[in-house]
Copies of this chain bind each other. A is one copy, B any other.
Amino acid sequence: MKNENIFSNLRKHIAETDVFSNEDFEKLTSIFTVVPLKKKEFFTVQGDHCRYLAFVNEGCLRAFHTDDKGDEFTMYFAFLNWWVGDKTSFYSDVPARFSTQALEDSEIFQADKKKWEDALEQIPFFEKWYRVKTRKSYEATQQKIINTQTESAEEKYLKLLKNNPEIVQRIPQHYIASYLGIKPQSLSRIRKNLSEQK
């Protein structure tokens, strides 16, 4: 990919919902640093201050919390066109409550707080776009609480198969288990039951 085109996906993605000038778009991309991540490499680490937010341009990451007992819980998988980073830590200078790790070789565009806030201030379409994104992710988080509480692991898995087949195909099973909030053995058992029922 030629360097001038490195932001072509981001451009297309934002253009799906917003209208902007070339000039504004260049202003926006100028705040980003292109960062390649090797598989298993970390973008943010739980407990550290999260200094960057980033846009996923290639590959896939997962955000996960590790509890006192050492168990991991995966909060979300971030594919193409997702934003990643712990906003709480990014804004409030508080230790991040989860880590973000590449599950494949990936490429992200990252920006620190100063650049980020300058961009929000100076580029109206970006401010609006970001506000909507933030609201959506708040909604998704609320929905996830509801689902977490009201569905059995099997229901969650079936729903994942139906609504997010790309996750099931692309992500190793023990991460999916941790996303569903169960142990890998339990997911194995659920899969076995399902296959026997057919």
Contact = CB atoms under 8 A, between A and B. Distances in A.
Contacts of A181: 149
Interface stretch (A1-9, A19-27, A134-142): A134-142
Copy count, this protein chain: 2
Interface in A125-169: 134-135, 137-139, 141-146, 148-150
B142 A97 contact: yes
Q: Which of A134, A137, A138, A148 has the most CB of B within 10 A?
A: A138
Contacts of A69: 150
A141 B141 contact: yes
Main secondary structure of the interface of A (DSSP, over half): helix
A65 B151 CA distance: 13
A19 to B, nearest CB: 20
Contact of A65 (B75, B97, B150): B150
Contacts of A87: 135, 138-139
